[in-house]
Amino acid sequence: MKALLLLILLLLPLLTPAQVADTLRVMWYNVENLFDCQDDPQKADEEFLPEGTHRWTPYRYWQKQRAVARVIAAVGDQRLPDIIGLCEVEGDSVLTDLTRRSPLRTAGYRYIVTHSPDERGIDVALLYLPGRFRPLSQRSISIHGGDRPTRDILHVQGLVSPTDTLELFLCHFPSRRGGERQSRPFRLLAAQTLRHAIDSVCQANPQSNVVIMGDFNDNLIDTRVAQELGVVPSSQVSSYPTLGLISLMADKQPGTYAYQGRWEIIDHILVSPSLLKAEGRFSTHPSLARIAALPFLLTTDEKYGIHVPHRTYMGPRHLGGFSDHLPIVVDFIKHF
C-alpha cells in the first residue's frame, strides 16, 4: 500500500491538467506564382501557360507542387504545421493538387481560399489539419478604392481546442510595382481595411486571440503602414495598448525577401497582446517565432555575394527553385 501511495504521489504532477501542454505550429509562405497550366480568360495569367513567356508546362507545374510540399514538410521539422497560410496561389485547382495529389496527400490537409478580383488571378489560402483546427466561419474582405483590383483578405474563425477560438486574418498587400512611394497608398488602403476588420472583432471581444499573417510588402517598422495597423516590435510589448498588434518577426534574421543585395522582412505574423500572456490557456512568445532559412531554400547571388532565396523564376528564366520568399513559423502553446 505504501509503495502504491508513493507511486501516485510521484505521478500526480504529470497527471495535473495545468502541467499538460500541446504545441500548435503556424506557418506562412509566399510560394511565388503557383499557377495552374489552364488559361482563365477573365485573368491575366497568359505568362503562366505552356505557350506563354514562362513556358509553364505540366512538368514544371508538378515540379513546383513537389517543391512546395517539400518546404512544408521540412519547416514542420518532424511534424507538419497545423495551420498554413499561403499566397500567390491560383485558386482551387492548385490547392486541390497540393492537398490531394502532391506528396502532402497523406497528411489530410483541407483548405479555404479567396476568389479575389486580382488581375492575375492569385489568391490567399489557408491549409489546416482538421484534427488541430476546426473552422467555425470564413469570409473574404474586399479592398475598395484603389486604381486596380487586389487580393481579398481572408478571415477565418476557428477552434484550436474545445474552448479556445482563434481569429485568423491572411493577407497579401499590394506590391511595390511602380515604386515604393507611388504604390504606398494602395498598401495603406489595405491596412485600413484590415484594421477595421480587426477592430470589429476586438470590440465584440477585447480578449480575442487574433493572428494576422501575410506578405505586407512592407517591413512594418516605423512606416505609415505599420502606424495604420498599430504594429510595434515584440520588444516594445510591455508598453503596448490593449488593442494593438505585435510583430513577432520584426527582429528576426536574415529576412524573408532579398532585393538588390539587401534582405528585408516583408512577411509577418502579428498577434494580439492577449496571445503573449504566459498565464493564458493559448499563448506564444517571440522566441517561438522564426524565419525558416533552410539551406536548400537558399542560393548564392553572384552579383551581390550573398545568399538569397532560391526562386522559381528570374523574370522569364526558369531557375527551378522554390520561391523568392522564405517561410516563417510560429509555435503556440496550448495549456490544458
Q: In this predicted model, what pLDDT tens digit does every residue of 224-240 receive, in sequence order?
A: 999 999 998 877 666 54
274: confidence class by pLDDT, cuts 50, 70, 90: confident
pLDDT of residue 177: 86
Residue scoring higher pLDDT (274 or 257): 257
Q: Is the dihedral of CA 217, 225, 154, 177 positive or negative?
A: negative
**How far apart, in Å, are the Cα atoms of 171 and each of 36, 72, 238, 267, 269?**
21, 19, 27, 10, 11
* In the predicted structure, residue 324 carries a pLDDT above the cut 90: yes
Specify the pTM: 0.92
Averaged pLDDT for residues 17-31: 80
Statement: residue 140 has pLDDT above 80: yes
Report, as an integer, the average pLDDT of 48-69.
Answer: 98
pLDDT band, residue 244 (cuts 50/70/90): confident
Q: Judge whether residue 11 has pLDDT over 60.
A: no
- Mean pLDDT confidence for 297-322: 96
φ/ψ bin of 135: left (φ > 0), alpha (ψ from -120 to 50), beta (otherwise): beta
Do 274 and 280 contact (CB within 8 A), yes or no?
A: yes
pLDDT band at 158 (very low <50, low <70, confident <90, very high): very high
Lowest mean pLDDT among 49-58, 225-234, 239-248: 239-248
Letter string b/e over residues 130-146, b meaning 16 or more CB atoms within 10 A of that residue's CB:
eebbebeeeebbebeee
pLDDT value of position 198: 96
Please indicate whether residue 178 or residue 33 has the higher confidence score (pLDDT). Answer: 33
Three-state DSSP state, 7: helix
Q: What is the pLDDT of residue 237?
A: 62
Residue with cell 531557375: 319
Our separate counts of H helices and E strands in the chain read 5, 20
Is the pLDDT score of 86 beyond 90?
yes
pLDDT of residue 65: 98
Contact indicator for 327, 71 with CB cutoff of 8 Å: yes
Q: Report residue 254 as a C-alpha cell.
A: 536574415
Query: Which class for 147: exposed (0-12), middle (13-18), buried (19 or more C-beta within 10 A)?
Result: exposed
Confidence at residue 7, expressed as pLDDT on a 0 to 100 scale: 35
Band of the pLDDT at 10, cuts 50, 70, 90? very low
- The sign one gets for the Cα dihedral 94, 98, 100, 102 is positive
- Tell me if the domain spanning 27-330 has CATH number 3.60.10.10: yes
- Write out the three cell numbers for 113: 481560399
Reported as a single tens digit per residue, the pLDDT across 161-207 is 998 999 999 999 999 988 888 999 999 999 999 999 999 999 999 88
Poorest-confidence range of 13-27, 170-184, 303-317? Answer: 13-27
State the pairing for strand pair 209-215/165-172: parallel
336 band by pLDDT with thresholds 50, 70 and 90? low
Residue 319 has pLDDT above 90, yes or no: yes
Distance, in Å, from the CA atom of 99 to the CA atom of 68, rounded to the nearest integer, reads: 11
Q: What pLDDT does 335 receive?
A: 81
Percent of the chain with pLDDT over 70: 91
What's the whole-number average pLDDT of the chain?
Answer: 90
Instruction: Look at residue 242 in the predicted model and tell me its pLDDT.
Output: 53
**Nearest-10 crossing angle of helices 58-76, 91-100:** 60
Of 2-11, 88-97, 214-223, give the lowest mean pLDDT range.
Answer: 2-11
